[in-house]
Structure 1
C-alpha cells in the first residue's frame, strides 16, 4: 500500500473500532434528511442488519461528536438535541436476573440503574459542551453550575457539577459491586430512573443558555436485554417526549412490545420505525459505497480537506450528491480502481490459459465418450470458434435432448454470423455457470468475482461487507507488491475469496446459534456448489432455496433458526420467484448471502432456487454428518464420490 496511506485506518470496518467522537469520519448517508432525528418529537426505532451503519449513525448524534473539540463552529440549536449513545452491556445486564430476587424487584433495580447510567452520561455531555466551541456555555459557567434537585434523591450528595459527577460514578461502582455480592452486601440506594434524569434536565434548563436542552437517548442492541429489562425501557419509550426521548436500535423489529405496566408500545402512536436497510436500498447504495471508500482513502492519506470529504461530510450538500454528473464521477473512479472483465472476455482469456484449455478439452471428450459420439474435442475447437460459446459446450453435450452434431452445428453457425441457439438462449443461460465450473479447480482465482459493480452486488446492500471486499483487495495488492490502482482481476478475485472465507469464520460469533449457523452455511454452500458441478448444468446458478413441501409445518425451533439466520444477514429473504410445481405453494425464497459466494465458487446472482421439504430443511440445519451426506447426494442426484469428498472438505 502507498506509504502515504495509513493502512490501519482502512482496516476499521466496524463502528465499534472508531472512537466515540466520529466527527470527520462519518459520511452523511443519502437518506439522512428522511430520518429527521434532530427534530423528532417522539421516539424512533432504528432497525437494520449488521453493517448497515446503525452504530455509526448513532455515534454521529452522540454528544461526543455533536460537541467535538474538532468542530470549529457549533450552531446554537445543537443544544436542542443532546444525544447519548448507550450500547447495552449484555454481560452485566444478564446478571441482573434471578439470584434470589423476584423479577418485579429487578425491574425497579434496572430502571434505577439505567437512570444512573444516563445521568452520568448527561453530566459528561454538559462537560463536553462547556469544553467545545459552543459559545453559549463555557467552562466558567460549568464551574458555577449546580444541580439542586440531586439532593432530593440522594442524601448527602454534592450538588455542584464538578463534585456530583464523581459522586454518581462512585455510586455506580458501589452498585456493580453489590450485584457481584448480593448476599454479602447491603443494596445501595439508587435514585428513581426517569424522575432523576428529568430533574437533572430541569436544573439545566433553568439556565437561559440551556433553556431548550433536550436529551435523546439511543439504546443500541436492545434485543439483547432480558425480557423484563426490555419492558422497563419500553415504558421509557412509551412516555417519551421532549426534553427526554428514549429510542432503540436492533437488527430487526422485535415483537415484544409489553411495558413494565399494563400498557404496550406500538409504531402508530409511540415511535417511528426507521429501517435503514430499506432506506439505503431505495436511495441506491452504489454511489454512497463509492463515496465511503474514496473518502476513507482520503482520510488515510491525510487529505482532511479534500473536495470529496467536504461534500460527503456536509448535511447541506445532499442535493449536490444526487446529481447524475457527480454520481457518474465517483462511480467511474471506483470502476477505474476495480475494473471488471465481461463474461465474454473471461471466456476468451480462459482459452488462452493452457491449464484451463486442457480442462475444457477433457470435459468435451468425456461428454462425447459418454454419448458414444464419433466426434472429438478437436471438432469443436476449430479456428474461429467463439470462446463464449465454446466454454458452454460441455454442459450442452451432457443434455440428452441435444445431439453432439446439433451442438457442433450451432457452434459453427454462431461463430460464423452470431445467430442461432447460442445467440438466443445458450450463451445467456449458461455462460456464467460454465465459467464457474471451468475455474472450479482454481477456487481462489475465478475472475467473475471482480469489478466494482460485482463487489456491490456481493455486498448485498451492506456497507461493511463492501468495505471488507475493498480493503482485502488493497491488502492482497500490497502482499503482491502491486499496491497501486487499478487492481488486477487476479488480485480482486483472490481478495474476494479471502473476504468470504473470513466472514464465514466470523459466523461462529453470531449469538446463541453461531456455530450451528456456520455449519449451515458450509452445508448449504457445498450443496449449491455440488449442484453446479452436475455435468448437464441445467441449474447452473442455484444459490437460494424455498421450503414448500413436507408432511408437517415448520416447528418453533426451525422458525427460530431461520429468524436468527435472517437477523444476522446469513440468509436474505426474497419474494417468491417462479416455482417448478406451478401450484403456488411457495411463500418465500431464502438466498444465501452473496458475500459467501466466492468461497464456494457459486453464483452471487439471484437466478435459480432449490425446492426442499420441511424434513430436508430439518436435516440440513440439525442433522448429523451422515444425515447431511444423504441429503446432499439426494439433492445433487449425479453427485460423484469425488464431489462427496469435497463436500466434507468444505466443512472445516
Structure 2
C-alpha cells in the first residue's frame, strides 16, 4: 500500500473522532465497552463522562438505528428500542423568564419534552412499518397520544409525527410571546408517552420490547429542567420505558423532582455508570485496542494490518536514559567518583551497572545530600536496596536529565503510555494515535514500520496543546480555567525537574481551607476534562462532600508540561491559591513554589508557546 494511500485512509478512519462527525460510519466503527451490559436493563442509568469519553457513541449505539446496524432489523434479536435526543442548548435556554415564573415554565418545558420524545417514538414506528412493508397502520395508541398532547386526532404514526412536528414549531414560535403561550394546551409529564411506548413494546412477537429514552448532554438543561427529567426518571418504572442519560461529571446539578420534597436517589431510582472508572487499566486498554485495531484494519482495506500496539513501541528506563544523553552523563559520574577518592573496586562495580543505575546513584547522592562515594558504597553492595531505590526513583530521575537543555525532554511513547495519558478518554486516545501515525507518514515512513519514540512524543505534546487552546471557548470560566491549567502545569513541571530531597512524581492536589469559592472553577475543570477528581480517602463512604475530593490535571497535559502522567503523590493547595492560579498564575505560583522549597527560577522558562505568552504578559 502506497504511503499517499495510507495518508488518505488514515484521515478517513482516524481523523474524525467525534460521533457527530461520523454519521453513517459511526456504527461500522462501533465497539461495545465493558460496561455495556449495565445499560441493558429497565433501570434508569446516568452515564457519566466528559468530552471524548464516548457517551454519545454509546447512546447512539443503543438507539434503534444502532440496533439495526449492529443486530440487524429483525426485532426478535433486539432487547429494546432506543430513541436518541441530544439536548440543544439554544432550544432549552429559551424556556425561562419572559414574564413567567419557574412553576409555569416547568409545565411548559414538561410539555415540550413530551412532544420531543413522542415524535421520536412516532418516527420509529414509521421506520418499523416501512421495513415490514406494513404501510400506514391504524394505531389506537397514536389517537390516544394525540389527545393527551392536545392535538387533533391521528390514527397513524406518520400523521402523529407530522402533527407533533407542527406543534413543536408552534410552541417554539409562541415562546417569544408570553401571552401567546397561555393558549397552548399543556400535557402532563410523561402521560403522552405511556400508550405510545406500550405500542412499541408490543411489536416484538412473544415478548416485550422496552423503550429506552436516550437523553444526551443532560448538563445543558437548566436546573428546573433537570427536575422535569428527574420526575420522569423517578416514575418510569411504572411504564414500558426507561431512561439512559448522558451527562458530564458535575453536570447533574439537581436531584429534586416536581413533587414537593421528593428527590431521586441512587440506588433507589437510578444507577450511575462512570465511564472513566469503568474503563480503568486493562479494561480501557482492551477497549481502546479493539477500537484502534478496527480502524487500522480499515486503513489497510483488506490487506493484513500491523498490530496497533506494535506500531507504538515504548522505551525502558535505561533506553530512555540513553536517548537523553545519559551515556556521557554517566561517564562524568564515574569520573567524579574517581576524583572523590573511591576505591578502584567501587569504581569498577559502578562502571558495570547499566547507565540508568549510574545516573540514579548520582540522583540519590543529591537527594540524600551525601557524597557520591558514600551513596555508591551504601547502594552498590546491597542489590535489594538498589533495586528498591530504582523502582521508586528511576522514573522520576528521567525528568532531571534534560532540565537544563533545550530540546531534551522526557519521552512519552508506547501504547501503554498512550492509554495512561488518555485516562479512559477514547477521543484523546484516538487523537494521540492519529497524530502519531500522521506525523510518521509525513516523514515518508510507512505504517508497516513502528513510529519512533520522538515522533510519538511530539504527537503527545500536540494533543494537549489543542485541548488547552479550546478551553476558553468551552465555558464561562474558560479563560480562567486555561490559566489554571497553565499554572498547575508549570507547578508540576518545576516539581518534576527538581525532585531531589522531596517526594517524587507529585502531580495531584488536595484543596484546603474554605473551598466553596473555588468549587465553580474546579467543577468546570472536571466537566471540561481539564481536571480529574477522585476521593481523597478511598475508605470513606460516597458522601458527595466536596472535601472528599482531590484533583489533578488530566494526564493528557503531562506531556505538554513535562511531568509524570502516573497517578502518584499529592500536595495541598489553599482555595485562594487555586483561584489565584486561575487569575494571576505567575504571582501565585511563586508563593506555592517557595512553600514547597523550590524556586520558580529553578527551571528555565517553558518552551511551550502558550505558557510563555501568558507568563510574559503578566510579568
Normalising by the smaller structure, the TM-score range is 0.7 to 0.9
| Residue aligning to 1:123 | 122
Moved more, 288-297 or 384-393: 384-393
Contact 1:21–1:59 (8 Å) recurs in 2: no
Contact 2:494–2:603 (8 Å) recurs in 1: no
Contact 1:222–1:250 (8 Å) recurs in 2: yes
| Residue aligning to 2:438 | 475
1:257-272 equivalence runs, <5 A: 257-262=255-260, 263-272=262-271
Partner SS, residue 97 of structure 1: coil
| Residue aligning to 2:542 | none
What's the CA shift string for 1:591-615, capped at 9, x where partnerless? Answer: 3322111111111123333234444
| Residue aligning to 1:314 | none
| Residue aligning to 1:609 | 570
| Separation of aligned partners in 2, 1:293 and 1:608 | 31
Deviation at 1:641, TM superposition (A): 7.2
Moved more, 564-573 or 212-221: 564-573
| Residue aligning to 1:139 | 133
| Residue aligning to 1:164 | 160
| Residue aligning to 2:428 | 465
1:485-524 equivalence runs, <5 A: 485-524=449-488
Deviation at 1:289, TM superposition (A): 1.4
1:196-345 equivalence runs, <5 A: 196-201=192-197, 212-241=208-237, 242-252=239-249, 254=252, 256-262=254-260, 263-281=262-280, 284-303=283-302, 333-345=307-319
| Residue aligning to 2:495 | 531
- How many residues are matched? 590
What's the CA shift string for 1:558-594, capped at 9, x where partnerless? Answer: 233333333344333345599xxxxxxx965433322
Deviation at 1:645, TM superposition (A): 7.7
What's the CA shift string for 1:471-511, capped at 9, x where partnerless? Answer: 11112112212232311111111111112222222333443
Moved more, 278-287 or 219-228: 278-287
Deviation at 1:344, TM superposition (A): 0.9
What's the CA shift string for 1:426-459, capped at 9, x where partnerless? Answer: 4434332332222346777646311111112222
Contact 1:178–1:186 (8 Å) recurs in 2: no
Deviation at 1:203, TM superposition (A): 5.6
Contact 1:447–1:489 (8 Å) recurs in 2: no
Partner SS, residue 96 of structure 1: coil
Deviation at 1:103, TM superposition (A): 1.1
Deviation at 1:625, TM superposition (A): 4.1
| Separation of aligned partners in 1, 2:210 and 2:25 | 20
In the alignment, does 2:1 pair up with 1:3? Answer: no
In the alignment, does 2:30 pair up with 1:67? Answer: no
| Residue aligning to 1:389 | 357
| Residue aligning to 2:541 | none
Contact 2:255–2:263 (8 Å) recurs in 1: yes
Contact 2:276–2:423 (8 Å) recurs in 1: no
The change in CA–CA distance for 1:155 and 1:94 in structure 2 (over 3 A counts) is: closer
* Aligned mate of 2:524, from 564, 575, 579: 564
* Aligned CA-pair RMSD: 3.9
| Residue aligning to 1:401 | 369
Q: TM-score, normalised by structure 1?
A: 0.79
| Residue aligning to 1:90 | 89
The change in CA–CA distance for 1:63 and 1:575 in structure 2 (over 3 A counts) is: closer
The change in CA–CA distance for 1:390 and 1:205 in structure 2 (over 3 A counts) is: closer
Deviation at 1:182, TM superposition (A): 4.1
| Separation of aligned partners in 2, 1:211 and 1:429 | 58
Residue ranges of structure 1 left out of the alignment (5+ in a row): 133-137, 309-331, 579-585
| Separation of aligned partners in 1, 2:602 and 2:207 | 76
Deviation at 1:632, TM superposition (A): 3.7
What's the CA shift string for 1:236-267, capped at 9, x where partnerless? Answer: 11110332323423223736221112232222
In the alignment, does 2:131 pair up with 1:149? Answer: no
Contact 1:530–1:636 (8 Å) recurs in 2: no
Contact 1:116–1:172 (8 Å) recurs in 2: yes
Residue ranges of structure 2 left out of the alignment (5+ in a row): 539-546
Contact 1:541–1:602 (8 Å) recurs in 2: yes
Partner SS, residue 67 of structure 1: helix
Deviation at 1:231, TM superposition (A): 1.3
The change in CA–CA distance for 1:193 and 1:532 in structure 2 (over 3 A counts) is: closer
Contact 1:113–1:193 (8 Å) recurs in 2: no
Q: TM-score, normalised by structure 2?
A: 0.83
| Separation of aligned partners in 2, 1:340 and 1:396 | 25
What's the CA shift string for 1:161-207, capped at 9, x where partnerless? Answer: 33332232222122222223446787544554522222434566787
